[in-house]
Amino acid sequence: MTNLALFGAAGRMGQALIHAVQHQPAARLVGAIDRVEAVISDTLRISPVWPDQLDVLIDFTRPEATLLALEECLRRNVGMVIGTTGFSPEQLGAVQAAAKQIPICLSGNFSIGVNVALQLVEQAARQLQGFDIEIVEAHHRHKVDAPSGTALMLGEAAALGAGRVLKDVAVYERHGHTGARDSQSIGFSTVRGGDVVGDHTVLFLGEGERVEITHKASNRSNFAQGAVRAALWLHGQPAGLYSMRDVLA
């Protein structure tokens, strides 16, 4: 049995995670932590209090909050599943440093479907030489970072397949007189609005044809189930920085 606690339990993903943990027989929900307090049921209360017997913390919050949780997990020597997105390079450095002492599974997307799409995108980019690569993503109106962590992961997969380095070829903005498209670039377009849970399309645009690889999330349960699966896998692993690829291997 693995003792799990949720950080960001009152949030959209937190709610989906409470449900997912409660339906996973191998996991016990020992804490629902958030800065917001709420009573969920007779036995479950969301509060800022950390539980004593904890094996793995699942974090879906904001980067600043993740760093606070990281310190607490280091102090308690417990593993962490990090689903939060929008980290700066410095913040990411802190996560990498902590992974020298505790096991951490970090992924911008915990859905199984997206992780398969990543492999398809890498393969397509490898074979569709000479095609232009563009990534379009859509999310609900409350999302605070752009492009999404998933769009960036798809960009990394496409760059890897095409033999490029994403940071050298990524184009995040186009406005005004942009000039013609650089054939090596990988462009990102962002749509925000309504209640879209998460749509991603990678386009490979050639002469007279195009290939589109699309993933659409219709609710948050797929992310939550993947994160719980990652937490069960992480329990007992040595210190290190893992990804969903390791969990599914």
Active site residues: 139, 143
Identity of the residue, 2 or 107, whose beta carbon is nearer to ligand NAD in the bound complex = 107
The one among 2, 3, 24, 84 contacting ligand NAD by CB under 6 A: 84
Among positions 140-159, residues that touch ligand NAD (CB under 6 A) are 149
CB of 65 to ligand NAD, least distance (A): 3
Applying CB under 6 A, among 4, 5, 10, 138 the residue interacting with ligand NAD is 10
H or E element in which residue 81 lies: strand 79-82
Checking phi first, is residue 179 left (phi over 0); if not, alpha (psi -120 to 50) or beta?
left
Near ligand NAD by CB under 6 A: residue from 6, 13, 138, 186:
13
Which residue's CB is nearer to ligand NAD, number 63 or number 187? 63
Closest CA to 58 of 87, 33, 85, 22: 33
Residue 115 is a binding residue for ligand NAD (CB under 6 A): no
Name the residue with the smallest CB distance to ligand NAD: 11
Instruction: Please state the length of the chain.
Output: 249
User: Quick one: three-class SS letters along 170-202?
Assistant: EECCCCCCCCCCCCCCEEEEEEECCCCCEEEEE
Nearest distance in Å: CB 215, ligand NAD: 12
Helix (H, G, I), strand (E, B) or coil at 167: helix
Backbone angles phi, psi at 217, to 5 degrees: -95, 130
47 DSSP assignment: B
Residues that bind ligand NAD (CB under 6 A): 8, 10-14, 34-36, 60-62, 65, 68, 83-86, 107-110, 149, 223
